[in-house]
């Protein structure tokens, strides 16, 4: 049976409450075996609506599952997007408190800032023109599903693609000055490397995540507004955190960003 707008709202409320109470819920496809991706994005949008109604401001988008390492880990086969709000941002060098989250994990990313609106099928060159800067970024994921397990793309999409918090580096460089697909990335915890990859692990070239995002948005008749932050997706699998951890990501040419983990 097709889902109604009311179903979308109900499921969005369920996930929103789970997030606010840091409580796990079963994947939606347990009760809604037929959950088309289109409906999952509608649930995601309703969830964002609940947040903006409380005063949060949308400041960008995240791409997820843009690397082979992530798709393998989650056993899912295509990229997805989610929405970022101002409340999700941890300042560079700031503190991330585990309390209030369910089972958060951190992952190494690269982010872009756009200076003009992007819509539909665009070329890499158009994406390059529209991105005024690139920066180092880490995303803190949290899934509202039991044990961070879900078995379908619609589940993760409805849950805002597991997005939770993110941190951006303070060095912003024009992407044209960088060899975007050849940047060594290294994530360290307390000075010890836990993940490393080349930036090409992200969509073959992180800028292509922006191209893919625009295509996905166009399927819903949407565009990427000027002034958006875009997280291009993780280069490696995500890492669990414990209190006292100091997590730092360094991307050659873009500098470093760190976050301290507290209980």
Q: Interface with Mg ion by CB under 5 A: which residues?
A: 64, 139, 234
Is residue 122 within 8 Å of residue 214, measured between CB atoms?
A: yes
The full DSSP string for 102-152 is SS-EEEEEEEEEESS-B-SS--HHHHHHHEEEEEEEEEEE--SBGGG---S
Do the strands 246-251 and 255-262 form a parallel or antiparallel pair, or are they unpaired? antiparallel
Q: Is 47 one of the binding residues for ligand OOG (CB under 6 A)? A: no
Please state, in angstroms and rounded to a whole number, the distance separating the CA atoms of residues 182 and 170. Answer: 21
CB 10 to ligand OOG: min, Å: 22
Q: Which is nearer to ligand OOG, 84 or 131 (CB)?
A: 84
CB 156 to ligand OOG: min, Å: 5
**Which of 164, 46, 40 is CA-nearest to residue 102?**
164
**Which of 200, 97, 105 is CA-nearest to residue 143?**
105
Which residues from 9-28 bind ligand OOG, rule CB under 6 A? none
Start-to-end C-alpha separation, the chain = 44
Q: Which is nearer to ligand OOG, 41 or 129 (CB)?
A: 41
Nearest residue relative to ligand OOG (C-beta): 64
Per-residue binding letters, 139-158, with ligand OOG (x by CB under 6 A): x-x-x------------x--
Per-residue binding letters, 49-68, with ligand OOG (x by CB under 6 A): -------------x-xxx--
Q: Which of 160, 162, 203, 236 contacts ligand OOG by CB under 6 A?
A: 162
Residue with token string 């006292």: 244
42 binds, among ligand OOG, Mg ion, none (CB under 5 to 8 A by kind): none
Is residue 151 within 8 Å of residue 77, measured between CB atoms?
A: no
Q: Which tokens sit at 176? A: 């044209």
Which residues from 177-236 bind ligand OOG, rule CB under 6 A? 233-234
Residues that bind ligand OOG (CB under 6 A): 62, 64-66, 70, 74, 107, 139, 141, 143, 156, 161-162, 233-234
């Amino acid at each position: 049976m097709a889902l109604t707008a009311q179903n979308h709202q109900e499921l969005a409320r369920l996930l929103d409450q789970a997030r606010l109470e840091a409580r796990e819920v079963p994947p939606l496809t347990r009760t809604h075996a037929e959950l088309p991706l289109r409906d999952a994005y509608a649930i995601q949008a309703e969830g964002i609506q609940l947040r903006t109604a409380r005063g949060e401001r949308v400041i960008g988008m995240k791409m997820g599952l843009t690397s082979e390492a992530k798709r393998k880990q989650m056993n899912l086969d295509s990229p997805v997007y989610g929405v970022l709000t101002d409340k999700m941002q941890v300042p560079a060098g700031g503190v991330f408190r585990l309390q209030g989250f369910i089972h958060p994990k951190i992952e190494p990313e690269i982010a872009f800032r756009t200076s003009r609106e992007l819509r539909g099928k665009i070329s890499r060159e158009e994406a390059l023109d529209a991105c005024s800067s690139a920066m180092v970024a880490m995303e803190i994921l949290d899934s509202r599903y039991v044990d961070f397990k879900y078995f379908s793309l619609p589940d993760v999409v409805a849950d805002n693609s597991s997005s939770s918090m993110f941190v951006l580096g303070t060095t912003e460089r024009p992407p044209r000055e960088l060899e975007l697909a050849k940047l060594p990335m290294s994530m360290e915890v307390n000075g010890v490397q836990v993940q490393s990859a080349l930036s090409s692990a992200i969509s073959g070239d992180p800028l292509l995540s922006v191209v893919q995002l625009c295509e996905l948005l166009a399927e819903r008749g949407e565009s990427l507004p000027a002034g958006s932050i875009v997280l291009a997706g993780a280069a490696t699998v995500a890492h669990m955190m414990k209190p006292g951890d100091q997590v730092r990501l360094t991307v050659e040419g873009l500098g470093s960003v760190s976050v301290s983990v507290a209980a």
